[in-house]
Amino acid sequence: MRLSAPFTRSLAIASLLLAPAARAAEPLTAEELLGAVTGCIDRLIAHGTDRYGAVQTPMFMSVIDVRTNASPREPEVFDAMIRSEGRLHRRNPGGADLWEDQPLLRAMYHLAEHHGKTHYADAADAYTRAFFERSVKENGLLAWGSHIYYDAYTDAPGGDGEGKGPNETLVLLPEWERMWAVDAARVRREADLMWEWHMVDPATGEFNRHDDKQPGCDFAFYGGELACVSAFVYGKTQEALYLERAKIVANRHWNARDPDTNLCPDAPGTGDRYDAHHCFTTITGPYAALLLRCSEYSGDPLFREMALAYLRAYLKHGWDGEAKRWRAMLALDGTPVMEQEKGGGYDVWKPTGYIDVWRAIMFSYEFPSIAAQSAVYAWEVTGDADALASAKHWAENIRAEMPASYGRRWGAEIEKAMPGAQALGGAYAEEYGRMISFFLRLHRAAGNPADLSTAQDLAREALAKLSENGWLKGCPAKPYYESTDGVGFLLCALLELAEPGTAMPPNF
């Protein structure tokens, strides 16, 4: 890859920003933070909608070149083979994915309700409505998630299998309430179809992350999504069927846990594969957060108690108090898996040794920033002392591995894909956003001024490295606004930091 002029200028600027004087700068003002957020969203509304193909829609494109304000049909690959685990459809090239834009829409609705930006809510509603109408699979499920999306150039679902690939929604806490307000019938239909096509055996709760009704990978962070949408519809309708479905799914992993340690495997149905017999931060991160959301939606404490049990188990067995670091992978009896060389095949994703704080891969088995967020979220919801202790340990581990980076597991591969990326420094917008939100919320919980300072430092660095031509990019080393690099999470975090006294939904 040849470095662009903006890239080399950013490299020079970044070196100055790392100087001690810059680190001691005054906190960013609310005006500066809000200006960065609204500037990016204004550009997205002006330049980032689907104006491609024969049919133009109000959907937001997932990849936009900040130099040209256009969405390329085939974006340059850059780091995508690494971040997407070799699956380029995951970045939604030439298209839009409402699933990946959930945090973006959360920011837009907040600005509409608290800052008078009513046209932001109108744009978010229009995007949702158009996606619901046009991005639908043959089986009725929405064409969104990690495999398929809406291809703006062909005006039809695209991606894996030319748009006929799996419906697989992962990791996020979706804004079901907002989508329900746009089209309640469509959300309820999606919940019913997710149950119909992803559930394998209701007697055991076995499900598949793909919509083929066949046994497959029962990843925890998909089970959390399936339980979450069912709990949401129960909260709206009070129909007991939906609460029963949510509990059936949640019990799948609960029944697979080690009863002595409460550690549960990520995917109990994968046989001899390591994810059927080990626990990761997939459990304490996205899965625990989704269970907590289930409890909030349904009012049933069962889900909350499951989430707390998983957090306590990982606190007991996963935190190395001597090293002041979290373990990345535990056998179900609590034995940590020590550092190993990367294996071949599926073993390349095995997160051995200590946690790699700065996540570079979209999915896989390592979710440190989300595990940190889940711990403080659990404290906010329950007041549980172990949840707060876990959050404090996460803060300790994260601060010890600052400044932000592309992580030790994949940093070399990212540097090879984008020469100069390591020298430029920084991390993905998602990680900046999640970490800023975590430290800000931990400051509210525990009152430690250092946590607020860390949130400010991360926000200042993120704006320095990711601002270009009025946009916020997904990665310092690329000239792209990219939704799957998590710009939406950064927008939400900057809003939180601008309004520290205003309660916002969790930034998941």
Residues 377 and 409 in one domain: no
DSSP-assigned letters across all residues of 87-137: -GGGG-TTEE-TTTTHHHHHHHHHHHHHHS-HHHHHHHHHHHHHHHHH-B-
Could you tell me if residue 212 is inside a domain?
yes
Judge whether 313 lies within some domain: yes
Q: Are residues 277 and 176 in the same domain?
A: yes
Q: What is the pLDDT of residue 8?
A: 41
CATH code of the domain covering residue 280: 1.50.10.20
For 33-82, the pLDDT digits (tens) are 999 999 999 999 999 999 999 999 999 999 999 999 999 999 999 999 99
Confidence of residue 503 (pLDDT cuts 50, 70, 90): confident
Q: What's the sign of the alpha-carbon dihedral 360, 94, 434, 98?
A: negative
Pair 324, 417 in one domain: no
Read off the pLDDT band of 17 (50, 70, 90): very low
Q: Which of 381, 410, 439 is the last residue of a domain?
A: 381
Based on the fold, state whether residues 186 and 277 are members of the same structural domain. Answer: yes
Q: Is the pLDDT of residue 7 over 70?
A: no
Instruction: State how far the alpha carbon of 174 is from the alpha carbons of 44, 105, 161, in Å.
Output: 21, 10, 25
Give the domain-ending residue among 318, 346, 381: 381
Which residues, 6 or more positions from 412, have their beta carbon under 8 angstroms from its beta carbon? none
The values of phi and psi at residue 18, to 5°, are: -85, -5
Q: What pLDDT sits at residue 5?
A: 40
CB burial of residue 198 (10 Å; 0-12, 13-18, 19+): buried
pLDDT in tens, 241-262: 999 999 999 999 999 999 999 9
| Average of per-residue pLDDT across 177-181 | 98
Percent of the chain having pLDDT more than 90? 94
The reply to whether 406 and 465 lie within a common domain is yes
426 pLDDT higher than 80: yes
Domain that holds residue 233: 168-381
Does 336 sit behind a cis peptide bond, omega within 30 degrees of 0 on the bond before it?
A: no
Same domain membership, residue 237 and residue 121: no
Q: Are residues 318 and 431 in the same domain?
A: no
120-176 pLDDT per residue, tens: 999 999 999 999 999 999 999 999 999 999 999 999 999 999 999 999 999 999 999
Total number of domains constituting the chain: 2
Q: What is the chain's alpha carbon radius of gyration, rounded to the nearest angstrom?
A: 21
**Mean pLDDT of all residues in 322-339:** 98
Q: Are residues 310 and 257 in the same domain?
A: yes
CA distance 18 to 23: 7
pLDDT digits (tens, 9 = 90+) for 82-107: 999 999 999 999 999 999 999 999 99
Give the percent of the chain with pLDDT over 70.
95
Least Cα distance to 467 among 489, 483, 490, 484 occurs for 490
Residue 324, in any domain of the structure: yes
Q: Is residue 197 part of a domain?
A: yes
Average pLDDT over residues 397-420: 97
* End-of-domain residue from the set 381, 411, 437: 381
Q: Is the pLDDT of residue 502 over 90?
A: no
> What is the sign of the dihedral through the CA atoms of 32, 37, 39 and 42?
negative
Secondary structure (DSSP) of 23-74: HTPPPPPHHHHHHHHHHHHHHHHHH-EE--SSS-EEEEPSEEETTTTB--SS
- The answer to whether position 479 is within a domain reads yes
pLDDT at 24: 56
Mark whether 190 and 300 lie in a shared domain: yes
Tell me: do 365 and 411 sit in the same domain: no
Q: What is the pLDDT of residue 296?
A: 98
- To which H or E segment does residue 246 belong? helix 240-254
- Tell how far CA 410 is from the center of its chain: 18
The answer on 340 and 222 residing in a single domain is yes
| pLDDT greater than 80 at residue 293 | yes
In a domain, 157, yes or no: no
Q: Are residues 178 and 310 in the same domain?
A: yes
State how far the Cα of 352 lies from the Cα of 328, in Å rounded to an integer: 6
Whether the per-residue pLDDT at 405 is higher than 60: the answer is: yes
Question: Is the per-residue pLDDT at 15 higher than 80?
Answer: no
Compute how many other C-beta atoms are within 10 angstroms of the C-beta atom of residue 240: 9
Q: In this structure, is residue 15 part of a structural domain? A: no
pLDDT given at position 501: 84
With respect to residue 10, please indicate whether it lies within any of the assigned structural domains. no
Instruction: Specify the pLDDT at position 336.
Output: 98
